[in-house]
Structure 1
């Protein structure tokens, strides 16, 4: 039972935070949080994958410009586990995105496209969203 939340015409600027809370499904393979101006132009595609590695999660970050994916940045990580309740905080800090994970660990991904206003947000996949806040 995967879900999807898609928001258009939002106004997330440098310094703003997006807080996403929810439960990673027990049989999760992956979920994603996308920030950009539409589904074909994403400054950040945050995509934890649970099927790639049995010892932990592979965190994949990428960008998409005019429908074309860039080079993936991959990190093996432990704080995201199937069946767990999590809070993930995403922050646009000018030339970099900061993603704070549940254990306080932070993943950084460059703002490759230099997007200074995020107008599109999508949360999708094997994730039960319980709270969503822009602050």
Structure 2
């Protein structure tokens, strides 16, 4: 969201999560993109459309989280 308006949404063609299963998700933040890695598929990237010096908020709905590791 920039200036109160959402940009274009980017979606991938597969949904990697299944009810009741365990999945490890890894996010890598680079200068121009965020790369998401899942054990079940190839990594995919989302462009960073404006400069980000830090990420202060992440939201996930309806997901049971067992652990979070920040490096």
Decide: shared fold, TM above 0.5: yes
| 2:31 alignment partner in structure 1 | 94
Higher strand share: 1
The question of 1:67 aligning with 2:4 is answered yes
CA distance, structure 2, for counterparts of residue 66 and residue 126 of structure 1: 28
| 2:70 alignment partner in structure 1 | 134
- Structure 1, unmatched stretches of 5+, are 1-63
Q: Which consecutive segments of 4 or more residues in structure 1 shift more than 3 A?
A: none
TM-score normalised by length of structure 1 = 0.47
Deviation of the 1:105 alpha carbon: 1.8
- Structure 2, unmatched stretches of 5+, are none
Q: Number of residue pairs matched?
A: 71
